[in-house]
Amino acid sequence: MAQKITIEPVTRVEGHGKVTIHLDDNHQVTESRLHIVEFRGFERFVCGRPFWEAPVLVQRLCGICPVSHHLAAAKAMDMLVGAGDGNGLTPVAEKMRRLMHYGQIFQSHVLHFFHLASPDLLFGIDADPAQRNVIGVIMEHTELAKQAVLMRKYGQEIIAATAGKKIHGTGAVPGGINKNLSLEDRDAFLNGINGNPDLSADKMIKWAEAAIALLLDYHSSHTEFLDGFAAFPSNHLSLVRPDGALDLYHGVIRAVDPEGKRIVNDVDSRDYLEVVEEEVRSWSYMKFPYIKELGPKKGWYRVGPLARLNVCDFIPSPKAQAAFEQFRAYTKGKPNSMSMHYHWARLIETLHAAEVMKELLLDPDLQGTDLVTKGERCGEGIGLLEAPRGTLFHHYQVNEQDLITMCNLIVSTTNNNEPMNRAVNAAAVAQMTGKAEITEPMMNAVEVAIRAYDPCLSCATHAMGQMPLEVTLYDAAGAVLDQQRKGM
Amino acid sequence: MSSPSASPKVLVYGFGNPGREDDGAGVALAERIRAAALPGVTTDTNYQLNVEDALLLSEHDLVIFADATHNPVDRFSFYRLQPDASVSFTTHAMSPGSVLALCTQLYGKTPAAYLLEIAGTSFELREGMSAEGTENAEAAGAFLLELLREGSFERVEALYG
């Protein structure tokens, strides 16, 4: 009898997801799907509003990465006001935005690794759920947990200082920025916020290095798990600086295939519609993007930290570059297709963000006073950047009354839709084949695969609320054979 | 509360998404308290609570979280929180009780903490609160302002602790 296992919803990811795993008569996994069950309505929410409101409005999308949406919208508005496509801002404006963005990357990556992922790594995915959480981490690794809190706080304070406040920041405006960084703030970030040396730029770099060492130590004793869990070949897409450097704020679109061959060759981000299309599938509200030239079957790709390190040629900061060389050497220079190595890549980016923040803080341009650039107004704006979870596309059209008439957003989680489905399937095949009983470790294995991508389903679907977990086993006729719940 | 007789450091922390109608009730309330500029009372707001808020809590004697709720309460409810070490992290966000537990575990301090829940009726992706949500937030704000102006936190403990 064919069966279907439903895991609903996914925990420790934002928003509402549901996983179904289809078994055949012999309990072999035949197909797995990550369903997104709520409808995305944000693009309509923005229409009819004055374009200059967009950078603030779009932060309503979610509480995890409002800065990414704020900056992507601001980049699109730069085009609208004739300030170029990311390269036309004054030095103080571009560097303030970069500081804001790298602060966001830093705090988001820290949250993901220490809060969401580390319980699985430190205790194992089949550990008791009562221990396998952040309180468990605190009990066993108190100093590590305190470091994570301070790293998060540092990133949040960088955001507050550059964006104006933690939520609904107004730092980026069409064509530039509305304030520079005060010397007082600069000195505090360099030497320690409120005089606390544990909240200094150098301490962030040191702790980011320590986090990589922690992961590599774990990898040495869990190589098979980290290398094999939900691993599969894929294309990889990200922005990259024109010289091939990792650049999370601005760049050209590049993609490589599983062998590292260039399949999208440094396309101007304004031409993203020539590169990417989105497919609709009947069972999910979230679209499935793919590289147009390759079609939906072969053109799907991964985005995010793993993809970015597979696509770029080098990292323009010394400590992260050294870590990157080790990362690339592990796969002998070929793209890394191991889903759990997202965590490794994420920590290398965390170190890079810490280095970039310090470099920017030392740059006197941040105290400049030439904040905004304006040029010839046009009716269309496109802004792309690398958000913590991957490439983020913002596209707007505006009428003569300055009102937004069209908004298209492709968020990171949407870009990763197909690979997340494949990761779920890979985990299901490995963990559930031949088994009819639903167990918590089996459920968590699927979630571990999804968590590697750090999906922000709130961003992709605009769901909200606390989501308990329910697992249901159906037979081919739809009758419930078994049901497990947690958090309900 | 660690030192009720001294001037306690009070934090009013509103959280929620103002872009989702009544979900922004906690933020609106915190902004109203901030505008009142009461001595010894600071405010903070965010979309949601997270790990670093444990550090913020550790720096205060009394913390009042303000949040919107779907629950069928009469305008608002106000009650004492206990650290919640059961930790049911279901999203990136944390519950007030979980943040309190983190504060206890990491910093060895447990400020007196309360949750002011404001009844919301509409949580769609839209700016501005509903008429009923606004009324409820105003009632909750008036209640909290009176409590904070009175400054008798021993009474708070007696009534709600």
DSSP codes of every residue in A337-366: -BTTHHHHHHHHHHHHHHHHHHHHHT-GGG
Give the mean pLDDT of A4-13.
Answer: 54
- For the segment A111-155, what is each residue's pLDDT rounded down to a tens digit? 888 877 888 888 877 777 777 777 777 777 888 889 999 999 999
Give the burial class of A260: count Cβ atoms within 10 A of its Cβ; 0-12 exposed, 13-18 middle, 19 or more buried: middle
Give the mean pLDDT of A89-114.
Answer: 95
Distance from CA of A128 to the nearest CA of B (A): 12
Closest by CA position to B50, among listed A12, A483, A359, A10: A12
Q: Is the pLDDT of residue A16 over 80?
A: no
Amino acid at A159: I
Distance from CA of A142 to the nearest CA of B (A): 7
Which chain B residues contact residue A487 at CB under 8 A? 88, 90
| Closest Cβ–Cβ partner in B102, B125, B127 for A41 | B125
- For the segment B17-72, what is each residue's pLDDT rounded down to a tens digit? 887 889 899 999 999 999 999 999 999 998 888 888 999 999 999 999 999 998 88
Which residue spans within A286-420 are E strands per DSSP?
A: 288-291, 301-302, 380-387, 390-398, 404-410
Q: Is the pLDDT of residue B1 over 90?
A: no
Give the mean pLDDT of A59-68.
Answer: 77
Please give the Cα distance from A13 to A17 (Å, whole number): 8
A290 touching B (Cβ < 8 Å): no
| Closest Cβ–Cβ partner in B19, B20, B90 for A11 | B90
Tracing tokens 């049901």 back to the chain, one arrives at: A483
A49 touching B (Cβ < 8 Å): no
Contact between A103 and A113 under an 8 Å Cβ cutoff? The reply is no
Which chain B residues contact residue A14 at CB under 8 A? 91-93
Contact between A165 and B44 under an 8 Å Cβ cutoff? The reply is no
Number of cross-chain residue pairs from A and B with Cβ atoms under 8 Å apart: 110
Closest by CA position to B88, among listed A62, A34, A464, A135: A135
Please give the Cα distance from A459 to A361 (Å, whole number): 30
Contact between A315 and A356 under an 8 Å Cβ cutoff? The reply is no
A167 touching B (Cβ < 8 Å): yes
Q: Count the alpha carbons within 13 Å of A354 in the hemisphere toward its beta carbon.
A: 30
Please give the Cα distance from A10 to A342 (Å, whole number): 19
Write down the pLDDT at residue A10: 53
Q: Do the Cβ atoms of A111 and B27 come within 8 Å?
A: no
Residues of chain B with pLDDT > 90: what percent? Answer: 57
Give the mean pLDDT of A30-36.
Answer: 74
Give the confidence band of A22 by pLDDT, cuts at 50, 70, 90.
confident
- For the segment B127-146, what is each residue's pLDDT rounded down to a tens digit? 889 999 999 999 999 999 99
Computed over every residue of chain A, the mean pLDDT equals 86
The model's pTM: 0.89
Least confident piece of the model among A227-231, A261-265, B5-9, B103-107: B5-9
Distance from CA of B120 to the nearest CA of A (A): 13
- For the segment A393-431, what is each residue's pLDDT rounded down to a tens digit? 999 999 999 999 999 989 888 899 899 889 888 888 887
Other Cβ atoms less than 10 A from the Cβ of A318: the count is: 10
Tracing tokens 């992961």 back to the chain, one arrives at: A215
Q: Is the pLDDT of residue A450 over 90?
A: no
Computed over every residue of chain B, the mean pLDDT equals 86
Which chain B residues contact residue A62 at CB under 8 A? 47
Write down the pLDDT at residue A475: 56
Q: Do the Cβ atoms of B125 and A59 come within 8 Å?
A: no
Closest by CA position to B107, among listed B41, B43, B51: B51
Which chain A residues contact residue B102 at CB under 8 A? 134-135, 138, 149
Which chain A residues contact residue B90 at CB under 8 A? 9, 11-12, 466-469, 487
Distance from CA of B7 to the nearest CA of A (A): 22
Write down the pLDDT at residue B61: 94
Please give the Cα distance from A40 to A458 (Å, whole number): 9
Give the mean pLDDT of A90-94.
Answer: 97
Contact between A84 and A50 under an 8 Å Cβ cutoff? The reply is no
Write down the pLDDT at residue A462: 30
Closest by CA position to A77, among listed A425, A398, A480: A398
Higher-pLDDT residue of A363 and B84 is A363
In chain B, which residues touch A (CB < 8 A)?
Answer: 17-20, 23, 27, 45-48, 50-52, 54-55, 70, 85-93, 95, 98, 101-102, 105-106, 123, 125-127
Higher-pLDDT residue of B21 and A5 is B21
DSSP codes of every residue in A126-191: TS-TTTSSHHHHHHH-HHHHHHHHHHHHHHHHHHHHHHSSSSS---EETTEES----HHHHHHHHH
Give the confidence band of A44 by pLDDT, cuts at 50, 70, 90.
confident
Least confident piece of the model among A15-29, A163-177, A205-219, A401-415: A15-29
Which chain A residues contact residue B125 at CB under 8 A? 41-42, 45, 60, 462
Reduced to 3 DSSP states, what percent helix, strand and coil does chain B have, rounded to the nearest 5? 40, 25, 40
Q: Is the pLDDT of residue A15 over 60?
A: no
